[in-house]
Chain A
Amino acid sequence: MAEPRPAILIVEDEPEIRRFLRTAFGVEGYRVVESATGRRGSIDAGTHKPDLAIVDLALPDVDGIEVIRRIREWSPMPIIVLSARVQERSKIEALDAGANDYVTKPFGIGELLARVRAALRHAVRSPSGTSILRFGNTVVDLEKRTALRDEEEIRLTPIEFRLLAMLAKQLGMVVTHRHLLTVVWGPTHEKDTHYLRIYMKQLRDKLEIDPVRPRHLLTETGVGYRLVLDE
């Protein structure tokens, strides 16, 4: 019990949703700070300095995306977005504004807790990320640039390594197409989604047991990709 309990800021206008989030996070041992408006949320983020923020996108006063921008001006704390909007656009906008992940309403608490755990782990490890990735029977060492499947070496291209490293940096969290394209291929290739499609297929063919039903290199349709490793 020596470790301080992580604090979570919840910016959400619906009291019923705040209530069940408070209960669920309380049971899991988190401290909870609640804000019912976007303005209040931006202030509470500054005064309470939580370890992670959960921000609803549809707030009554200011847009959730604005809240994310304000927090990002001074803090790298992980931000998870609650989005009721079905449109992919608002999710992507929130991610581009600095959110680390999203959960679409209605969601099961299990899904949200998993995202929160992944984001908090990332916050501890960042910025170096993880260098050893285990995919079932395959182990990739990002630092040494080696990949072994059942002790046998598999060749990954430099770009494949870079792509994996980018995903590993945000392990367990979604990384947008745009982000991957700009970082791996450069800003001029921001719209060349087909590069990603081709390289993700190659990576899956090399690393996944069943490339069509990937368990690690997951597709977030219309948004990006997510690297998930065995716990």
Chain B
Amino acid sequence: MVSIDKQRKPPAHPFSKIPAIFMGNLQRSWATVLRMNLKRHWVGYAWAVGAAAACTFVGLVMYPRFDLVNVAMVYLLAVVIIALRFSRGPAIAASVLFVAAFDFVFVPPRGTFTVDDIQYLLTFAIMLSVGLIISRLVKSVRRQAAAQAALEIEAETERIRSTLLASISHDLRTPLAVMAGASSSLAESGERLSAAERHALAKSVFDQAQEMSEHVAKVLQMTRLETGAIKVDRDWASLSEIVGAVLARLGERMAAHRVIVELPDDLPLVRVDATLIEQALGNLLENAAKHTPPATVVRVCAQRRGEEVIVTVQDYSAGLSDRDLERVFAKFHRGSVEGAGAGMGLGLAICRAIVRLHGGQTWAERVPGGGTAFRFTLPLEEAPSAPLELASN
């Protein structure tokens, strides 16, 4: 009847659905609920049955010397334990089982479910109540703990979000302000400016736009790395090629520093996503350029150590504090001494995330003689055979 009703007129009001669902539920509720409950908590039910047997055994040992009340106490303890450990279903099952066992084995007349003395009914009621109360308490405590954990995660997400927003708004607003100012000067009083002034204004718009684009790309990249949206596309790559490409890409940003590249000639090929590793290395180099005075040396080197390759970008900064060394690769870490051009603190976190995706590690260490080495490792795989011509030539 319900189904005909449903066919004839599609639910005009959401409430019209409720009776149908409700009625359908009533018919299969008990069997289904019990089956599902059994399936989910079978361990708890097994424990209830096991505990009933164990308690009965203990009771039988106690019986000649102890009062019946004390035997009941053993069952009660077991109910409490089951209720604490498992959900309501097993607790109820345990209570019922224990009452039945207690009644059958110990309560006179023994060997039957008949009860001579009305007071044992009270024992049964108490046992069942204790089981229900405890399991209910446990449930609410668990729920509170889960809610607390969720709150903490939310607070942490919120903290990250607000830091992110703060850094975005700082790092994006400054270039935007420059761009708006410089371009409006050009638009409104361009003809009164000298060619050199016009050029300088236009150049600063371009530079700031590029910087902003870099920032946005980093935020996007970090988000994609964190959400696992990045697929690592591994292929054979040469570290010296990656270093060359990175230096070409960074161009002007590294121009103020003296970059020294030291790569052994027999450095093996690595199987990596070259685009990602180029980013990781680029971020390390940018970091070095940002945090050290111009004209100082930045050293890029790589060496093989066993089954991995260690890539190092070393600068000659004042050196980081122990705390900074530890935290420098964390997200939004900006260093204790913050400069104007400190950036968002995402570069090294992106580097770490990329290296992790490749199964490598990142760390920073002080170098004897001054400066900091930022290192990462890449696992080596067995190199494929070289093309034939190599042998003949």
**Which residues of A does B touch, CB under 8 Å?**
86, 88-89, 106, 108, 157-159, 185, 192-195, 197-201, 211-214, 218-222
Contact = CB atoms under 8 A, between A and B. Distances in A.
A212 B240 contact: yes
Nearest to B209: A106
Given A106-B213, A219-B244, A192 B278 contact: no
A199 B236 CA distance: 13
A194 B217 contact: no
Contacts of B163: none
A108 B261 CA distance: 28
B210 A213 contact: no
Interface string B324-362: 000000000000000000000000000000000000000
Interface residue tally on B, bucketed by range:
20 to 34
Contact of A192 (B241, B261, B383, B384): B384
B217 to A, nearest CB: 7
Interface in B184-227: 206, 209-210, 213, 217, 220-221
24 contacts: A88-B233, A157-B389, A157-B393, A193-B235, A193-B236, A194-B269, A194-B383, A195-B386, A197-B236, A197-B238, A198-B386, A212-B240, A212-B243, A212-B244, A212-B261, A213-B247, A213-B248, A218-B245, A221-B242, A221-B245, A221-B278, A222-B233, A222-B273, A222-B275
Shortest 3 CB-CB contacts between residues of A and residues of B: A194-B236, A222-B275, A219-B245
B19 interface: no
- Most A CB contacts (10 A, CB to CB) among B213, B220, B238, B263 go to B238
Contacts of A219: 241-242, 244-245, 248
A23 to B, nearest CB: 13
B74 interface: no
A222 B274 contact: yes
A20 to B, nearest CB: 12
B97 to A, nearest CB: 62
B387 interface: yes
B93 interface: no
